[in-house]
Amino acid sequence: MALALVGEAVISASVEILLDRITSKVFRDFFASRRLNVSLLDELKIKLGALNAVLNDAEEKQITDVAVKTWLDELKDAVLDAEDVLDEINTESLRYKVEGESKSFAQVRSLFSSPFKTHNSKLEAIAVRLEHVVKQKDILGLQSVYRRVSWSKSTDSLVEPVVVAREDDKDKLLKMLLSDVDAKSNNIEVITILGVGGLGKTTLAQCLYNDSEVQKHFDLKAWVWVSDVYDVFKVTEQIVESVSSKDCNSTNPHVLRIELKNRLKDKKFLLVLDDLWNEAYNDWNQLIIPFTSGKKGSRIIVTTRQPEVAKFTHTFPTYELKSLSEENCWRILANHAFGNEGYDKYPSLEKIGRQIARKCDGLPLAAKTLGGLLRSDVDEKEWKRVLNSKLWAHNDVLPALRISYLHLPAHLKRCFAYCSIFPKQHRLDREDLILLWMAEGLLQQSSEKELELVGSECFKELLSRSLIQKDEAVAEDKFRMHDLIYDLARLVSGKRSHYLDCREIPKNVRHLTFSRNRYDVSKKFDGFYKLKSLRTFLPLDKWDCNITSKVPQDLLPKLKCLRVLSLSKYNNITELPNSINMLVHLRYLDLSYTSVKRLPDATFKLYNLQTLKLSNCKSLVELPAQIGNLVNLRHLDISDTNLMEMPIQIYRLQNLRTLTSFIVGKEDGLRISELRKFPCLQSKLSILKLHDFDPSYAFQAKLKNKEQIEELMLEWGSDPQDSQTEKAVLDNLQPSTMLKKLSIRCYNGTRFPEWIGDSSYCNVRVLRISDCNYCVLLPPFGQLPSLKELVLERMTMLKTVGQEFYCSIASCPSFQPFPSLESLMFKEMLEWEEWVPFESEGSNFPFPCLKSLCLSECPLLRGNLPNRLPWLKEVRIEGCNQLEGFVSIEKCDSLQCLPRMILNANCLRDLTLRNIKSSISLPTDGLPTSLQSLDIGGCERLEFVCDERWHKYTSLEYLGISESCDSLVSFPLDCFPALRELYIYDCTNLEAIDNKGGGASPNLLNRFTVHNCKKLRSLPEEMDLPALQYLRLYSLPELGSLSPGFLASSLRYLEVDVGILQPHSGLQFQRLPPLSQLYLKGLRDEEVVNTLLREPSLPTSLTSLCLSSFRRLKRLEGTGLQHLPSLKRLHLYDCVWLESLPEEQLPSSLEVLWIGSCPLLEERYRNEKGKHFSKIAHIPVIRISEQVIIV
Tens of pLDDT, residues 790-822:
999 999 999 999 999 998 765 566 788 999 999
> Mean pLDDT over residues 724-737, rounded?
93
Per-residue confidence (pLDDT) for residue 161, from 0 to 100: 42
Task: Give me the long-range contacts of 392-398 (CB less than 8 A, separation at least 24).
Answer: 392/359, 394/63, 394/64, 396/63, 396/491, 397/484, 397/487, 397/488, 397/491, 398/197, 398/198, 398/363, 398/365, 398/366, 398/484, 398/488
**H or E element that contains 1008:** strand 1007-1011
C-alpha 1164/C-alpha 1168 separation (Å) is 10
The most confident of the ranges 81-95, 353-367, 564-578, 1117-1131 is 564-578
> Mean pLDDT over residues 7-31, rounded?
83
C-alpha 176/C-alpha 214 separation (Å) is 11
CA atoms 178, 179, 185, 187: torsion sign: positive
The most confident of the ranges 225-239, 782-796, 840-854 is 782-796
- CA 590, 593, 595, 600: dihedral to nearest 10 degrees? 20
> Mean pLDDT over residues 238-247, rounded?
76
Closest CA to 805 of 775, 828, 830: 775
How many CA atoms are closer than 13 Å to the CA of 565, on its beta-carbon side? 29
**pLDDT per position as a tens digit, 678-690:** 989 999 999 999 9
How buried is residue 814: exposed, middle or buried, by Cβ count under 10 Å (0-12/13-18/19+)? exposed
Per-residue confidence (pLDDT) for residue 1, from 0 to 100: 36
pLDDT above 80: residue 945: yes
How does DSSP classify residue 185?
S
C-alpha 698/C-alpha 676 separation (Å) is 10
**H or E element that contains 937:** strand 933-937
Are 1044 and 1022 contacting, i.e. CB atoms less than 8 angstroms apart? no
**pLDDT per position as a tens digit, 301-323:** 999 888 888 888 888 888 988 88
How buried is residue 61: exposed, middle or buried, by Cβ count under 10 Å (0-12/13-18/19+)? buried
Q: Choose between 855 and 895: higher pLDDT.
A: 855
pLDDT above 80: residue 147: no
- CA 239, 242, 247, 250: dihedral to nearest 10 degrees? -20
**pLDDT per position as a tens digit, 1017-1074:** 988 877 788 888 899 998 998 887 777 777 777 888 999 888 777 645 445 676 677 8
> Mean pLDDT over residues 293-308, rounded?
86
Q: Spell out a b/e string for 721-737, using b for 16 or more CB atoms within 10 Å of the CB, else e.
A: beeebbbbbbbbbbbbe
The H-assigned helical ranges of 228-346 are: 232-244, 253-264, 281-288, 307-313, 326-338
> Mean pLDDT over residues 978-1001, rounded?
89
Q: Choose between 354 and 1092: higher pLDDT.
A: 354
Are 1068 and 1050 contacting, i.e. CB atoms less than 8 angstroms apart? no
**pLDDT per position as a tens digit, 520-579:** 999 999 999 999 999 999 999 888 899 999 999 999 999 999 999 999 999 999 999 999
378 — phi, psi (to 5°)? Answer: -105, 20
C-alpha 801/C-alpha 829 separation (Å) is 11
Are 852 and 873 contacting, i.e. CB atoms less than 8 angstroms apart? yes
Q: 250-254, 446-450, 658-662, 1147-1151: which range is least confident on average?
A: 250-254
Per-residue confidence (pLDDT) for residue 1107, from 0 to 100: 93
The residues pairing with 304 across neighbouring beta strands, listed in sequence order, are 194
C-alpha 517/C-alpha 539 separation (Å) is 10
pLDDT confidence band for 183 (50 / 70 / 90): very low
Mean pLDDT of the chain: 84
Per-residue confidence (pLDDT) for residue 245, from 0 to 100: 67
**H or E element that contains 513:** strand 511-515
Cα 383 to chain center, whole Å? 41
Are 995 and 1018 contacting, i.e. CB atoms less than 8 angstroms apart? no
Closest CA to 521 of 1149, 1105, 1152: 1152
> Mean pLDDT over residues 480-495, rounded?
87
**H or E element that contains 794:** none
Q: Choose between 441 and 624: higher pLDDT.
A: 441
Q: Choose between 1084 and 135: higher pLDDT.
A: 135
> Mean pLDDT over residues 370-391, rounded?
82
Q: Peptide bond before 1063: cis, by omega within 30 degrees of 0?
A: yes
C-alpha 119/C-alpha 83 separation (Å) is 12
C-alpha 772/C-alpha 1077 separation (Å) is 48
C-alpha 463/C-alpha 482 separation (Å) is 11
pLDDT above 80: residue 83: yes
Where are the extended beta strands (E) located within 717-822? Answer: 741-745, 766-770, 789-793, 800-801
Per-residue confidence (pLDDT) for residue 267, from 0 to 100: 80
User: In the chain, what percentage of residues exceed pLDDT 90?
Assistant: 38
How many CA atoms are closer than 13 Å to the CA of 594, on its beta-carbon side? 21
Residue 128: Cβ within 10 Å count: 11
Please give the C-alpha separations between residue 740 and each of 9, 146, 635, 684, 706, in angstroms, as whole numbers.
41, 48, 20, 10, 13
> Mean pLDDT over residues 625-630, rounded?
90
Helix (H, G, I), strand (E, B) or coil at 526: helix
Q: Indicate the pTM of the whole model.
A: 0.82
Amino acid code (one letter) for 235: V
Where are the extended beta strands (E) located within 519-648? Answer: 519-520, 536-540, 546-547, 564-566, 588-590, 611-613, 635-637
Please give the C-alpha separations between residue 93 and each of 442, 608, 692, in angstroms, as whole numbers.
22, 11, 44
With a CB cutoff of 8 Å and minimum separation 6, the contacts of 275 are 201, 202, 225, 226, 227, 228, 303, 304, 305, 483
Q: Spell out a b/e string for 1059-1098, using b for 16 or more CB atoms within 10 Å of the CB, else e.
A: bbbeeebeebbeebebbbbbbbbbeebbebbbbbbeebbb
pLDDT above 50: residue 236: yes
C-alpha 415/C-alpha 401 separation (Å) is 16
Helix (H, G, I), strand (E, B) or coil at 305: coil
The most confident of the ranges 105-119, 649-663, 1088-1102 is 649-663
Tell me, letter by letter, the H, E, C secondary structure of 107-123.
HHHHHHHHHHHHHHHHH
With a CB cutoff of 8 Å and minimum separation 6, the contacts of 533 are 77, 80, 81, 84, 508, 509, 510, 561
Helix (H, G, I), strand (E, B) or coil at 1092: helix
Per-residue confidence (pLDDT) for residue 947, from 0 to 100: 81
Helix (H, G, I), strand (E, B) or coil at 1051: coil
> Mean pLDDT over residues 956-979, rounded?
91
Where are the extended beta strands (E) located within 857-909? Answer: 874-878
Closest CA to 334 of 299, 362, 372: 372
Please give the C-alpha separations between residue 525 and each of 67, 513, 514, in angstroms, as whole numbers.
33, 12, 10
Per-residue confidence (pLDDT) for residue 342, from 0 to 100: 80
Helix (H, G, I), strand (E, B) or coil at 85: helix
Per-residue confidence (pLDDT) for residue 469, from 0 to 100: 85
**H or E element that contains 985:** strand 981-985
**H or E element that contains 366:** helix 364-374
Amino acid code (one letter) for 641: T
Please give the C-alpha separations between residue 469 and each of 9, 162, 276, 465, in angstroms, as whole numbers.
24, 15, 20, 9
Q: Spell out a b/e string for 907-932, using b for 16 or more CB atoms within 10 Å of the CB, else e.
A: ebbebbbbbbbeebebebeebbeebb
> Strand 1181-1184 relative to strand 1187-1190: parallel, antiparallel, unpaired?
antiparallel
C-alpha 578/C-alpha 605 separation (Å) is 10
C-alpha 757/C-alpha 167 separation (Å) is 45
pLDDT above 70: residue 605: yes
